[in-house]
Amino acid sequence: MSKLFKHEFFKLFRNRTVHIVFLITVVLSAGIALLMVFMPESISGGVSGSETLSMAVGGNDVWLIMCAVIVSSIVVAEYHRGIIRNMVMSGHSRCKIYLAKYIVSLVTAIALFTTVVLVTLPILSIANGWGDAVSVGTFLLMYLHILLQYAAVIAIILLIADLTRSTGAALGANIGLILVFTIIGSLGITVEVDGEVVMAGNRVLEFIGDLYVGVLSTRAATPDLTTAKIIQYILTAIGTLAIALFGGMFLFKKRDLK
């Protein structure tokens, strides 16, 4: 198993697409943070260091698309080159190969999101201080919570990449899922409260939206979450992770690698 990890990380560090994605991430993160600093406070709201996490997940669609690009470049290309078939023929089990690819993809996604946080946090903290949105402890707890949801979404992205075995199809399917679930999670219903028609959340639609991290992690970064909601989000992420990961491993064992 250790040889598989070394092999996967070696390919990752040499992958030009990965280098480009991380460079774009650094530039975008720094640009957005500086824009928030120099933008008039009446418009930006004076974003502080404690609000970095909420701002980072605000652009989650972009970061997830980048994760999809990386995973597709790592996984799909190897099918066409016969690399995965050769790994199986050399004696590595399919479950270990799939698990190794998942863990390397997850580490890459965590590194990508962490890069966003590490670039924006110092800029906002120096410019506007830490602020009082959340405490440092709550900030770290929300960060760990978001990583759990990233573990779920990377399992979905890898599953789609394995099923399609086409870079274009994998990117198209994942981008489509991000957009669809984000839209579903933002939908609501109109109700009448004290004679006034207002928009209210729909629990069914919210739950469907929670199944994808593009919506789930944004809500996880909200400082006024109730304990019940936190438990719901964690269980949703764990359930999604289990279904996508073990389902992907099962299908990978059955697939023809030719």
Amino acid 75: pLDDT: 75
Domains of the chain by residue range: 2-254
Amino acid 60: pLDDT: 75
Amino acid 43: pLDDT: 64
pLDDT over 60 (residue 255) = yes
Percentage of the chain lying above the pLDDT 70 cut? 78
- 32-73, pLDDT tens digit by residue? 899 888 887 666 667 888 888 888 877 777 888 888 888 877
Amino acid 233: pLDDT: 73
Considering the entire predicted model, what is its pTM?
Answer: 0.82
d(CA 57, CA 150): 11
Half-sphere exposure of residue 154: CA atoms within 13 angstroms, side-chain side: 29
Amino acid 179: pLDDT: 75
Amino acid 93: pLDDT: 87
Mean pLDDT of 208-224: 56
